[in-house]
Amino acid sequence: MNLLLVNHYAGSPALGMEYRPYCLAREWVRMGHRVLIVGATFSHVRARQPEAGDETIDGIGYRWLPAPPYQGNGVGRVRNIWRFLAQLWRQAPRLAAEFRPDAVIASSTYPMDIWVARRIARLARAKLVYEVHDLWPLSPIELSGMSPRHPFIRLCQAAEDAAYRDADVVVSMLPKVHAHMAAHGLDLRKLTIVPNGIAPEDWQRPPEPLRADVAAAVAGHLAAGRTVVGYAGSMGAPNALGVLLDAAQTLAGDAIGFVLVGDGHERDRLARRIAAEGLQQVQLLPPIPKAQIPALLGAIDIAYIGWQRVPIYRFGIAPNKLMDYLMAGCAVLHSVQAGNDPVADAGCGLTVAPEDPAAVAEGLRRLAALPAAERRAMGERGRAYVLAHHAWPVLARRFVEALQ
């Protein structure tokens, strides 16, 4: 099959996030399919931005359409989205005639790309696929407090309704979306769940050595006899790292150390808190390359992932970071209330209430008190679970089967 995937924010190992389009496409190419990903030249989640034009990465075709840079979620980002979609609309006849897709996948987080994807699919007489990352416009309504009557929200709602009505197949990363989608007109026979995953091959080669400052932070805690709690990922409000610092205060007298690696909007505030409150057992360090993540996770004792207490998570969660934790064989402390819980499903750690520092502290105490062999057994269960349910070869095959 020829698969055309529209993802404004698509990345690659060299560019950075987001990785899902690349990971799925790499597997599709290995299965014998031809893949073209269309993305924008600017995305706020990438580490490096591509040049406009066509290129091939690991057998995957990419077409980068020029789009202006922006900061935040204001007018600049709207202009960036509009520029990308307008160019893609103009290129639709060319894409349909030259690439001749069998399926066109709209996958840009925001739902407005469904209209452009529908145009291409109709011109090419291809199947139309809508891939859901987050529920828009419900996410900005519930997370950011936007009014359902806001013009942008109305536009998103019209696009979401059109997607459920017109798509031949709907693929959702979130597992508990059935009632919401049905309420907006989706025939649930069209729906397939394909969560986030991991590439087993990335974990079969020797890990890249840790950067010196991170290695020293972990070694310092171990030398002091502390159980090491690690976090690797984004440092924004949704990641609930302030709650982890509250728990660290409670655990100041315990032999537990913290190594937090990453970047994001909350990083500076977290750093100021650590300094002001004298949290000497907490090290906050800049992000490391993806290739070093296995080495970090292999060096710590407990991995932390936390969430805010927000209603939107009733539809489920699909965090990339948790897939890495499980693949690394970490015992996990999960602070969440959601429609699903991979940590509980895998039996690889403890789950406690979100936004509850006392519960987080107690959960970490319980995990730290376990014999190392018991934590390793938890980690082995997590690794087995992720290989069975979240390996990209498994997920890519499930996605293609939905198209057939």
Q: Give φ, ψ of 292 to 5 degrees.
A: -95, -10
As a whole number of angstroms, the distance between CA 323 and CA 293 comes to 12
Q: What class has domain 2-194?
A: alpha beta
As a whole number of angstroms, the distance between CA 72 and CA 236 comes to 13
Task: List, in sequence order, every residue forming a beta bridge with 55; answer none if it has no partner.
Answer: 62
pLDDT for 144 equals 83
Distance, first Cα to last Cα, the chain: 10
Burial tier of 339 (Cβ tally within 10 Å: 0-12, 13-18, 19+): middle
Amino acid letter, residue 132: V
**Residue 320 pLDDT grade (very low, low, confident, very high; cuts 50, 70, 90):** confident
Asked if the model's pLDDT at residue 401 lies above 90, the reply is: yes
As a whole number of angstroms, the distance between CA 324 and CA 158 comes to 36
pLDDT for 17 equals 84
- List C-alpha distances in Å: 158 to 106, 111, 191, 288: 15, 9, 19, 40
Asked if the model's pLDDT at residue 207 lies above 90, the reply is: no
The mean pLDDT value for 137-157 works out to 92
- The verdict on pTM exceeding 0.85 is yes
**Residue 16 pLDDT grade (very low, low, confident, very high; cuts 50, 70, 90):** confident
Token pair for residue 56? Answer: 């091939």
Mean per-residue pLDDT over the chain, rounded: 96
Task: List, in sequence order, every residue forming a beta bridge with 282; answer none if it has no partner.
Answer: 258
In CATH terms, 201-389 corresponds, of 3.30.420.610, 3.40.50.880, 3.90.245.10, 3.40.50.2000, to 3.40.50.2000
pLDDT for 254 equals 98
* Residue limits of CATH 3.40.50.2000 in the chain: 2-194, 201-389
The mean pLDDT value for 88-104 works out to 98
Asked if the model's pLDDT at residue 290 lies above 90, the reply is: no
Cβ atoms < 10 Å from Cβ of 377: 16
DSSP assignment of 64-110: EEP-----TTSHHHHHHHHHHHHHHHHHHHHHHHHT--SEEEE-SSS
Q: Which residue has the tokens 């798509």?
A: 167
As a whole number of angstroms, the distance between CA 250 and CA 270 comes to 16
pLDDT for 202 equals 85
Asked if the model's pLDDT at residue 269 lies above 90, the reply is: yes
Q: Which residue has the tokens 């190594």?
A: 259
pLDDT, greater one: 377 or 143: 377
219-249 pLDDT, tens digit per residue, is: 999 999 999 999 999 999 999 999 999 999 9
pLDDT for 182 equals 98
Q: Which residue has the tokens 């990785």?
A: 19
pLDDT for 316 equals 96
339-361 pLDDT, tens digit per residue, is: 999 999 999 999 999 999 999 99
- Residue 375's nearest CA partner among 360, 364, 361, 385 is 364
17-37 pLDDT, tens digit per residue, is: 889 999 999 999 999 999 999
pLDDT for 102 equals 98
256 close to 242: Cβ distance less than 8 angstroms: no
DSSP assignment of 152-189: HHHHHHHHHHHHHHH-SEEEESSSS-HHHHHHTT--GG
111-123 pLDDT, tens digit per residue, is: 999 999 999 999 9
As a whole number of angstroms, the distance between CA 332 and CA 307 comes to 14
Q: At what angle do helices 241-250 and 267-276 cross, to 10 degrees?
A: 10
pLDDT for 262 equals 94
**Residue 291 pLDDT grade (very low, low, confident, very high; cuts 50, 70, 90):** confident
